[in-house]
Chains A and B, each alone.
Chain A
């Protein structure tokens, strides 16, 4: 078939590509990686007021091998960074990663020896969500952006991380 990974989806199977993207975007299962205060806002988002289930994301899987997206909610310390890398490597492709909150995106209000931003551990972060902690509406906005990114993906046969 000539599997060049940067190839665009061939013309004849483009509707199939759109269908696959639509299915992937509307039923993403997050891997539980709540670390600190942002995890509490993530739990509030999964609650009944800001319902994450209407986007298909209420099924928080504990095992990374059964999940699609990892929402890193909270500050990443020096001891936890190798754990994040191990868990991220265990996720099956296609997979996405969302850095929720200021601490995981950039280090946040902690500018010291102990906090590591997520993009130094993982090859590429898909969505950054700002806020300390971000409101549940901001988290939902970030997840909708991720859905838009997935639906716009035009590389059906050769998905790989970092591209």
Chain B
């Protein structure tokens, strides 16, 4: 699980073009949206594509993302349970 969390942090930084943020700067329970990393609605869509492309998880309702993308910790638990890749 720890390895997956580090992988997610690196992917989020790379794929969402977060400048001047390192893996060490993101805590497992930091909120990803709002006051946390400050991600926006387009970032949420990118994360949905990433779940599909990298982990084989298809979210049919984008609203589901709101709960899944709460933090790295929540994302990692969800991916571990539902991944097909």
A and B, one complex? no
Binding site for A on B (CB under 8 A): none
Binding site for B on A (CB under 8 A): none
